[in-house]
Structure 1
Amino acid sequence: MTAPTQAAPPITTVSQELFARARQVTPGGVNSPVRAFKSVGGTPRFIASADGAYLTDADGNTLLDYIGSWGPMILGHNHAGVREAILEAAVHGTSFGAPGWREVALAELVTRLTGTQKVRFVSSGTEATMSALRLARGFTGRKYILKFRGNYHGHADGLLVEAGSGLMTNADDLGQAAPSSAGVPPEYAGLTLVTEYNDPAALDALMAARGHEIAAVIFEPVVGNAGVLLPTPEFVAALHRSREGGTLLIADEVMTGFRLALGGATELLHLTPDLICWGKIIGGGLPVGAYGGRAEVMEYVSPQGPVYQAGTLSGNPLAMAAGLATLTALESDPGLYGRLESYTERLAQGLAQAAADAGVTVCINRVGSMLTVFFQAGPVASYTDAARSDTAAFAAWFQGMLARGVYWAPSQFESIFVGAAHNDAELNATLSAARASFQELKEAK
């Protein structure tokens, strides 16, 4: 496919009809909330196919995609090597409920690339973080966990506390916070302590007061669900200090794993967590997650240890095949991460210039192939900062981009993802759409 040269046709009957049908049988008409376009308005596009850097919606419109299935498609949609690996595996069966060679091979590859010693596969990022926290509690004998405001770790009950773009609540001085979803008992949420991301003094103070009670500190090395937030060196140092009293440090790399480097953000930021959680890229676009770390901790997992965790589809042969093909392709192309870095840096520079030319105030956060355009002056280093963004301006700009054939993340509080299929034609088309959309936004005010 080639980059669209003109505005995409307006949404017509097929997506509208599908959305109307979906709302009759599915809550909100979607199977994951952000897909409903609630924060940006309009009707979501229903996708019929994907290839390279492009989606084709149910009405036949071509869209230049910056979501990449929310991160997994680092090689591009419908990558031949990944597709062929899945097809080859499917010939031999789609699920065994028993061990297979691919899960051994993928575990060997993951541990080698990430420096972990043992790994357990699950079927989603939520399962990975939930299981890692149960393991931390079992290993330490402590019941509290600590997370950071705006960090999203999946939808397990104990993690829906000040989670990403969810409800804003207020924590007290000792980190107690209310749940950010109905259906989460306050008593359960009370086992999750919360403090501010990128505030090392607050983290140090909370650990000094309650560290002896805390099983684990879980964090996103680079936040993606409050928009892209980068950790300061001082905050990274405070994270490492949190381990000194026996608390485990858990890096949630569901989004950043194998995206920012072969060794993920752990490698890029020189982190030394006890456990790491993965998803998205590790399964090459199929449903998969994993958690792993040092053997001393992982050996507490059943059947070797007393911490129970199981899954019928864990180690599914199709998912393992997709993950093996994806990670092998990443490792075999040593220049890939440099190309992603270069493209995304040029994209950030071009967006900043286009906004400035139109007189629209934005702050752009970027690391590797992840980027967020915040509609505010910035700087944006925490979720409290991000929450000051002009979400109405973002929604208008998003609609302008979509009308011009560019499919951006439909929320101010999300990252976009660049993949190997994005090249100069895609960059030029994106910046052309952005210039027109920024100008349109300015003229509408």
Structure 2
Amino acid sequence: MSNSKTERAIGPLSTAAFARAQKLIPGGVNSPARAFGGVGGTPLFIDHARGPHLFDIDGHRYLDYIGSWGPMILGHAHPEVIEAIHQAAARGTSYGAPTEAESELAEQIIEAVPSVQRVRLVNSGTEATMSAIRVARGVTGRDKIIKFAGNYHGHADSLLVSAGSSAATLGVPDSPGVTQGATQDTIVLAYNDVQGLTEAFNQYDGQIAAVILEPVVGNMGCVIPTKEFLAAARSLTEKAGTILIFDEVMTGFRVAFGGAQQRLGVTPDMTTLGKIVGGGMPLGAYGGRQSIMDQVLPAGKIFQAGTLSGNPVAVAAGSATLRILKEDSPYEYLERLGDRLAKGLDAAATDAGLPHQVQQVGSMMTLFFNPNPVNNWDDADRSDRERFGRYFWGMIGKGIYMPCSQFEALFFSRTHTESMIDETIDAAKEVLKSC
């Protein structure tokens, strides 16, 4: 990927905006995924979005396949969601006191998600997973947790742990500022490794508070769990009195209305939510069985709080989104478009003679530049990052905005059409021939 290609794909206003931002904000961005670190070059600065499209500050339009990293399942600026936001904001943006709207959203979540009998609203997916881990430790009286390499659960200290091998290992901090003490009770295993999980339960018998996992992974690319792996996670945790947490921040209301747990038929003890549940506004949630959640303050003794938790504007956006998803379900349509896009990208890469895998669940998918199926982080890590960078910039040049990392799943919305999917496939056919 040459610098000249990169520079032609962006406009002068984005270039200037990034230079300004770098003088004010670390790295010029407020979240690392936006910095284009995985593909090189200057990020596009967005002016506005509508339906399936993003518009940058240079006036270029892009067909969007990140959807704000998942939340925009209804498309950008959905009129009913925007109206709900306007009405809520006009009454006040924050009260620091309860509202009936919070209970309405809670009812919607409890009705939809099989594992949730009680739910607490928070401000982000990171806050949801951090809180769920604390609750699991408080309920069980145990310290250790199991996570899986390549599963991202936000940036709470105990979950920022580097990828481990298939053998059970105690985690090593993945970021400066995260102490060994914060991660010493985090065990990192390989995803889809039933033997490794079984051995960990044998090695740490009676010590494991929780197992947390993405039931469909989106943060090392789209990686699909085996039935055996999910069955083992459920049976081992039940036998050991360990709390099984599904991190459905990404998959909740995305792969099915009731999340991956509904689609896959496995019910965890607790679930964390974000992204779609807030309708594009900052909102997260964690919930589970009543016997677990009733141990959270003030019903119980486990502390968790937040000044802006249940923010009325965010709640309004989330509630409107979930209502639309229930009343006018897009999931059959999204499945059809997902199958069409996956088959098209697979054929395009095959015709170009490129080693690849297309892995898809509904409206989540990844084109891996990898000759072998991707079942865990070690598999994903063998993907061709440089080829992905060439693919990314080639698609940007054709007005298609794909995720800026080989290890992020793409998403699309109900406002994408079959003709847009075909446009994307046609662009990929041309781009992949030069990758």
- The two structures have a TM-score, normalised by structure 1, of 0.94
Q: For 1:319-398, what aligned pairs fall within 5 Å after superposition?
A: 319-334=314-329, 336-398=330-392
Which of 403, 420, 423 aligns to 2:414? It is 420
Q: Which sits farther off after the overlay, 357-366 or 409-418?
A: 357-366
Aligned to 1:218: 212
- How many angstroms does 1:181 deviate by? 1.3
The answer for the alignment partner of 2:113 in structure 1 is 114
- Tell me what 2:276 maps to: 281
**Equivalent of residue 291 in structure 2, options 292, 296, 307:** 296
1:284-311 CA-to-partner distances (Å, cap 9, x unmatched) read: 0000000000000001100111100000
Q: Is 287-296 or 9-18 further displaced after alignment?
A: 9-18
1:404-428: per-residue Cα shift (whole Å, max 9, x none)? 1000000000000021011022112
Instruction: Find the counterpart in structure 1 of residue 17 from structure 2.
Output: 18
Give me the whole-angstrom Cα distance separating, in 2, the residues matched to 1:265 and 1:327: 16
Aligned to 1:35: 34
Which residue of structure 1 aligns with residue 135 of structure 2?
135
Once the two structures are TM-superposed, the CA of residue 10 in structure 1 deviates from its matched residue by 3.6
Provide the secondary structure at the position in 1 that maps to 2:86. helix
Cα drift, residue 171 of structure 1: 5.0
Q: Which amino acid aligns with 1:120?
A: R
SS in 1 for 2:169: coil
Amino acid in the other structure paired with 1:290: A
Shift of residue 434, structure 1, vs aligned partner: 0.5
Paired residue secondary structure (2:406): coil
Q: Distance in 1 between matches of 2:63 and 2:380?
A: 26
Unpaired segments of 5 or more residues in structure 1?
1-7, 163-167
Structure 1 position 266 matched with structure 2 position 261: yes
- The one-letter amino acid of 1:374's match is F
1:5 match: none
Match of 1:197 in 2: 191
Residue 362 of structure 1 deviates from its aligned partner by 1.1
> What pairs with 1:38-57 in structure 2 (closer than 5 Å)?
38-57=37-56
Q: Percent identity?
A: 51
The equivalent residue for 1:148 is 148
The one-letter code of the counterpart of 1:144 is K
Segment of structure 1 superposing worse, 233-242 or 73-82:
233-242
Q: How does 1:402-441 map to 2 (within 5 A)?
A: 402-441=396-435
What is the CA deviation profile of residues 382-420 of structure 1, one whole-angstrom value per residue up to 9, with x for unaligned ones?
A: 111000000000001100000110000000000000210
Q: Which residue of 2 aligns with 1:92?
A: 91
Measure, in 2, the Cα distance between the counterparts of 1:202 and 1:356: 34
For 2:406, give the aligned amino acid. Answer: Q
Cα deviation digits, residues 6-60 of structure 1 (max 9, x gap): xx97422110010000000101100000111111011100000000000000000
2:121 partner SS: strand
> In structure 2, what is the Cα distance between the partners aligned to 1:158 and 1:16?
37
Structure 2: gaps of 5 or more residues:
1-6
Residues 171 and 177, structure 1, Cα contact 8 Å, conserved in 2? no
Find the aligned partners of 1:252 and 1:85 in 2 and give their Cα distance.
27
**SS of residue in 2 equivalent to 1:212:** coil
Question: Any conservation in 2 of the 1:144–1:215 contact (CA below 8 Å)?
Answer: yes
Residue type at the aligned position of 1:320: V
Query: Cα distance, 1:129 vs. partner?
Result: 0.2
CA distance in 2, matches of 1:157, 1:239: 24
CA shift digits 1:200-243 (9 cap, x unpaired): 11101111221310100000000100001100010011111222
The answer to whether the Cα contact below 8 Å between 1:9 and 1:61 also exists between their aligned partners in 2 is no
CA distance, structure 2, for counterparts of residue 275 and residue 328 of structure 1: 23
SS in 2 for 1:134: helix
C-alpha contact 2:168 2:196 (8 A) present in aligned 1: no
Q: Tell me the distance in 2 between the aligned counterparts of 1:110 and 1:182.
A: 36
Deviations 1:141-189 (A, max 9, x none): 0011110111100000000013xxxxx4x45844212111111111221
Local SS of the residue matching 1:147 = strand
Alignment-mate amino acid for residue 118 of structure 1: R
- 1:257 maps to what in 2? 252
SS at match of 1:240: helix
SS at structure 1 position matched to 2:355: coil
1:61 aligns with 2:56: no
Q: Which amino acid aligns with 1:295?
A: Q
Alpha-carbon distance in 1 for matches of 2:184, 2:431:
44
Paired with 2:319 and 2:113, the residues of 1 have a C-alpha distance of 14
Q: Displacement of 1:261 after TM fit?
A: 0.7
Query: Does the 8 Å contact 1:276/1:293 carry over to 2?
Result: yes
CA contact (8 A) 2:9 2:396 kept: no
Retained in 2: the 8 A contact 1:211–1:247? no
Q: Equivalent residue for 1:77?
A: 76
CA offsets 1:352-405 (integer angstroms, 9 cap, x no match): 111111112211100111000100111111111000000000001100000110
1:307 aligns with 2:302: yes
Contact 2:252 2:258 in 1 (8 A): yes
Q: CA contact under 8 A between 2:277 and 2:318: conserved in structure 1?
A: yes
- Tell me if structure 1 keeps the 8 A contact 2:141–2:209: yes
Residues in 2 aligned to 1:431 and 1:196: alpha-carbon distance in whole angstroms: 33
Name 1:124's counterpart in structure 2: 124
TM-score by length of 2: 0.96
The 3-state SS of whatever aligns with 1:155 is: coil
RMSD of aligned residue pairs (Cα, Å): 1.2
Cα separation, 2, equivalents of 1:429 and 1:326? 28
